[in-house]
Amino acid sequence: MKSLKSILILSLLFYSFIGFSQTEEETSRPTAKGKFIVGGNSSFGFSSVASETEGDSGTVSKSEARSTSFSLRPSAGYFVIDNLAVGGGILFSSNKTKSDTFDNESINTAFIFSPFIRYYFTEGNIKPFLEGSVGVGFSNTKVDDGVGENEFKNSIFNYSFDGGVAFFLGDRVSIDLGVGYATSTVKPKDNNTPPRFDSDSFVFKVGFHIFF
């Protein structure tokens, strides 16, 4: 009897240990349900545009403009189920455009709050992912035409879709490479600003995330 009891006790302890180890292994995955994700991404761009316009009389007018842009988006989320995180981020972007032809310069800054949903595929150290977000915010544009400076305030609505690959460095950190498509609608806050306009863009993104 004592031997049988000892075998039963050892068996229970063994299976309890196996079950505990499996639970620990499942929850140690960085994208498991109940985990948090914190990180961000940034982008930088430069463009130079030269154009020629020919009038009815055959005259040709030339224009040239240079533009630089920068954006930074910190974010935080929570895995509601395995591999699926929901959260929010704050996007800051700055764009500077200078026209040599018309000797003017404009600087646009924007702040956008954007809830997101992100899903990871596969269970290895290299995980493809998809992300979608919707954002609302505001922007401020200053235009200097060489004579004086004008300022315009706008409201912004946008949405974006991103896709890429996360390279995990262990169980807590990933480096992300991806591309994104975004569309934005900008509306003036008063009647003195330019009319509403829409824009679409494709952006290459680099980011990192921490899981805990």
Q: Where are the domains of the chain?
A: 1-30, 33-211
Q: Which residue has the higher pLDDT, 2 or 135?
A: 135
| DSSP state, residue 19 | H
Does 93 score more than 70 pLDDT?
A: yes
User: What integer is the mean pLDDT of 162-182?
Assistant: 93
- For domain 33-211, give the fold: Porin (2.40.160)
Does 160 score more than 70 pLDDT?
A: yes
Distance of CA 55 to the CA centre of its chain: 43
Sign of the dihedral defined by the CA atoms of residues 122, 123, 127, 131, in that order = positive
Name the pTM for this structure: 0.70
Distance, CA of 111 to CA of 93 (rounded, Å): 7
Q: Which residue has the higher pLDDT, 70 or 46?
A: 70
Does 172 score more than 90 pLDDT?
A: yes
- Identify how many contiguous H helices and E strands the chain contains and give both numbers: 1, 8
Please, what is the Cα angle at 114 between 113 and 118, to 5 degrees? 155
Q: What is the pLDDT of residue 12?
A: 38
Least reliable range by pLDDT among 3-12, 151-160, 170-179, 184-193: 3-12
Percentage with pLDDT > 70 across the chain: 73
